[in-house]
Amino acid sequence: MRRLFGGKTPALTADLQQRIRRSFEESAADEEHFPSTIDPRILHVRVILQTFGDLAGKRVLDAGCGKGRFARVLLGEHPAARIHAMDIAMAMLRFVEAPLMPCAGSLTALPYATGAFDALYATESLEHAVDISGAVAELCRVVKPGGRIVIIDKNKDHWGRLETPEWERWFGQKELEGLLRRHCGKVESRPISYWEDVDPDGLFLVWLAER
């Protein structure tokens, strides 16, 4: 079977899930590599805000939120939104405070009802799901029809540029589009950089989908 993703493709066993969780529990103490804040001017933030539009009264999920740095920016821009922040590591979620709504969970088994959210985003979290197609199905499941999804992650064509854990998987632009099209009516993608005045170098891609 043709391998669609960058990196090896280990099975998502209970032992591997525990190792991934433990890795992020330990990483919560590393503010340099896992920061609790983000510059709201970077394009990774701006594209989410632009894609979602007015979020007043709407439910939004940050899937794989880490310390909630993106969620805090969204809440600052849209204080009337109900923003849920989910992560696998409790140590990360200790940084997520009300009125954000933290929750522990896995991308492959989201602890939310079908159609629970008006919008959802996953920034550099899908790469850790191992079962990428299963995680994409779950991300789409919890978004209501007409809701919008933003995924920002690394391009498998640049695999090897960064040091990665053995479970991390990167994916190609068209490959993830194909997985999203199984569940969404509209899908598009493009390279993205951090800053508006800097051309993308191909490492990061953004996928936009509508249920």
Token pair belonging to 47: 């594209």
Burial class of 154 by CB neighbour count within 10 A (0 to 12, 13 to 18, 19+): buried
Burial 189-199 (b: 16+ CB within 10 A, else e): beebbeeeeee
- Going through the chain in order, the beta strands assigned E by DSSP cover 5-6, 59-63, 82-87, 101-104, 117-123, 143-154, 170-171, 186-191, 204-210
The Cα–Cα gap between 181 and 84 comes to: 25
pLDDT given for residue 11 in this prediction: 87
Q: Which domains does the chain have, with CATH numbers?
A: 5-210 (3.40.50.150)
Per-residue pLDDT of the chain (211 residues; tens, 9 = 90+): 234 455 556 788 999 999 999 999 999 999 999 999 999 999 999 999 999 999 999 999 999 999 999 999 999 999 999 999 999 999 999 999 999 999 999 999 999 999 999 999 999 999 999 999 999 999 999 999 999 999 999 999 999 999 999 999 999 999 999 999 999 999 999 999 999 999 999 999 999 999 9
Please check whether residue 78 is in contact with residue 101, taking contact to mean a CB–CB distance below 8 angstroms: no
Find how far residue 189's CA is from the centre of its chain. 15
Task: For residue range 1-24, list pLDDT tens digits in order.
Answer: 234 455 556 788 999 999 999 999
Give the predicted TM-score (pTM) of the model. 0.95
Q: List CB contacts of 167: < 8 A, sequence separation 6 or more.
A: 10, 16, 19, 20, 128, 130
Q: What are phi and psi of 156, to 5 degrees?
A: -65, -20
Q: Give the C-alpha distances (Å, rounded to integers) separating 126 from 68, 99, 157, 168.
A: 16, 25, 16, 9
